Amino acid sequence: MTRLRADLLLLLTALIWGAAFVGQSTAMDHLGPFLFTGTRFLLATLVVLPFVLTESRQGPPLRRDHATLMGAAGLVFFIASMTQQAGLLATTVTNAGFLTALYVVLVPIIAFMALKHRLPWIVWPAASLSLTGTWLLGGGLSGLNWGDGIMIFSAVFWALQVLLVGSLARRSDRPITLAALQFGVTALLCLILAALFEPLSFTDMAAAWKELLFTGIISGGLGFTLQAVGQRYTPASDAAIIMSSEALFAALFGALLLGERLPLLGWIGCGFILAAVIGVQVAPQLPPIWQRRKTG
């Protein structure tokens, strides 16, 4: 797969996640966070399971160390998802959206400082531009509290998830298996917590069936699997910037489906995010500045 196709897959992932934001919001009217997340990723696991079996027959055998690391990635995925959900109990959706987007700059920082990865120059301005765009799109921060601290904690784990997925998808050559293990671990842990702390109501689950199907099958099963496939060919730092366009698509679908309207600064923020996404795709195709000067 070419880098361009991988980037387009990640852009499609962001579009799907942005569309799912509406369903994730309305589902909370009927279900608790553990039951909703557990059911959602149980559906995602069941959807991708046939493809896992096909991948296991056609792809390389799954090494034990890769399986262990995939399980660890599933635990990171669970922590990121549930700390984000817990933070939403105390903070605003606006604050949550911006603070979660911190993973866009955390990914290159962790990759550079902890993993010693060499990064293209475009990553730093593009990450900053994307974060600024998210800030403008959400209207900034207001009324910081302990929920915002949890959101920052969650962003660290989302950054780790992006780095783990990129590394494991390339090393194991089993991206669908990786996605399924993430789903399975998260579904199991969430459903156990739901049984302990939340009421189980089939009536409420039936009331949220549309949201569960979309966020489970499309956003979960398809979206996160596309992420794993795309990250085999796109560096984690670039992938984080491309997937940050989720905020842009969330605003778009909020306008189309919920009648929400963006102020001028929100549209400027969308432009910043779009510029960052285009930048990380176009810049690698250009010759270095010193080379252009020399040939000129």
Q: For residue 280, what are its two tokens?
A: 């990380």
Q: Are 17 and 103 in contact (CB under 8 A)?
A: no
Check residue 258 and give its pLDDT.
65
187 or 272, which is more confident: 187
173: helix, coil or strand?
coil
Instruction: Report the amino acid identity of residue 206.
Output: A
Q: Is 289 exposed, middle or buried (0-12, 13-18, 19+ CB in 10 A)?
A: exposed
Q: What is the mean pLDDT of residues 8-37?
A: 83
- Of 40-54, 84-98, 158-172, 214-228, minimum mean pLDDT range: 84-98
Q: How far is the C-alpha of 241 from the C-alpha of 285, rounded, in Å?
A: 17
Q: Give how far the C-alpha of residue 91 lies from the chain's centroid of Cα atoms, to the nearest Å.
A: 20
10 or 90, which is more confident: 10
pLDDT 10s digits, 187-225 = 999 999 999 998 888 888 889 888 899 989 998 899 999
- Position 145 confidence tier, pLDDT thresholds 50, 70, 90: confident
Q: How far is the C-alpha of 241 from the C-alpha of 123, rounded, in Å?
A: 8
Q: What is the mean pLDDT of residues 119-141?
A: 81
Asked whether residue 295 carries a pLDDT value surpassing 50, the answer given is no
Check residue 288 and give its pLDDT.
55
DSSP letters spanning 61-113: PPPHHHHHHHHHHHHHHHHHHHHHHHHTTTS-HHHHHHHHTTHHHHHHHHHHH
Asked whether residue 287 carries a pLDDT value surpassing 70, the answer given is no
Asked whether residue 296 carries a pLDDT value surpassing 50, the answer given is no
pTM of the full predicted structure?
Answer: 0.84
